[in-house]
Amino acid sequence: MKYVISEMMEELIKLDAMEWGGYAFYHEPLERKFTEEQKKVYIRKANACGEQEAEELLKEYPDTGIKALAEDMGFTVKMPKTPAGGGHVIFAQYVEPKEITVFTDCVEKAEKLIKKEHLTSLLEGIDLTEVLLAHELFHGIEYRKRKEIFTQTEKIQLWKRPFSNRSRILCLSEMAAMAFAKKMTGIHCSPYILDVLLMYAYNEEAAEALYEEILEAAGIREREEEC
């Protein structure tokens, strides 16, 4: 093992929205289509979009838990146990049009981990379930507002004229959902840290690899070149 989880968390908490944006674009299938400058603009706009949605909602529902809020908005919230390790761990999902699921197994595992590794002070005030719910809730809102919300209407032309195939940019939704969840739950760091925290609860090596990938994507660490 190369890292201690508390060490990784400490580092990740320091990352700002711009750096997490780098990580989001790292997983964007259309990443090669954008210049660094364009990416920066997109990161800013996506974050603003998520925050704005959160602000509007907070005005409408002050001091309401996310679950109650989601249910009040007409979403069905499910909480089964499900995941079981491996290279691809699913935390939560949203199924169109109104079903939100949080898989409690990973939440329980992560909470145990937080206790065991004394991460409580580091992750002060973070309710994992709420964060996951909020993220998925954003996708639900996105779906309802798909005609006007930035993350759904912003498109990129993929084909050369006279052909046309305009595509959404998937990572914008993700960044906005994270910004939304951060604002809604009032936590002090990006919800993206859950990628490493929750993965660590299942597979420490994979979490470490993910951590390295994040630092590299955020432009903090150079990748060691292999010959």
Single residue of 132, 141, 184, 189 touching other proteins by CB under 8 A: 132
* Least distance CB 191 / Zn ion (angstroms): 10
* Least distance CB 139 / Zn ion (angstroms): 6
Q: Does 221 bind other proteins (CB under 8 A)?
A: no
Residue 33 DSSP code? G
* C-beta closer to Zn ion: residue 19 or 174: 174
Q: Which of residues 29-88 bind other proteins (CB under 8 A)?
A: 29-30, 32-33, 82-84, 86-88
Q: Is 58 exposed, middle or buried (0-12, 13-18, 19+ CB in 10 A)?
A: middle
Residues 62 and 123: their CA atoms lie apart, in Å, by 23
* Interface with Zn ion (CB under 5 A): 174, 177
Q: Does 94 bind other proteins (CB under 8 A)?
A: yes
Q: Which of residues 155-194 bind other proteins (CB under 8 A)?
A: 156, 158-159, 165-170, 177, 194
Task: Specify the long-range contacts of residues 154-160, CB closer than 8 Å, at least 24 apart.
Answer: 154/42, 154/45, 156/30, 156/33, 158/30, 158/33
Instruction: Enter the tokens of residue 210.
Output: 């993910």
Instruction: Enter the tokens of residue 155.
Output: 């498109």
Residue 190 DSSP code? -
Query: Which residues, including other chains, have CB under 8 Å from residue 57's CB and lie 6 or more apart?
Result: 69, 141, 184
Ramachandran class of 184: left when φ > 0, alpha when ψ lies in -120 to 50, beta otherwise: alpha
* Least distance CB 71 / other proteins (angstroms): 19
Single residue of 56, 95, 146, 188 touching other proteins by CB under 8 A: 95
Polymer length of the chain: 227
* C-beta closer to other proteins: residue 97 or 186: 97
**What is the chain's Cα-based Rg?**
18
* C-beta closer to other proteins: residue 60 or 167: 167
What are the residues binding other proteins (CB under 8 A)? 26-27, 29-30, 32-33, 82-84, 86-97, 132, 135-136, 139, 156, 158-159, 165-170, 177, 194-196, 198-199, 203, 205-206, 209-210, 212-213, 223, 225-226
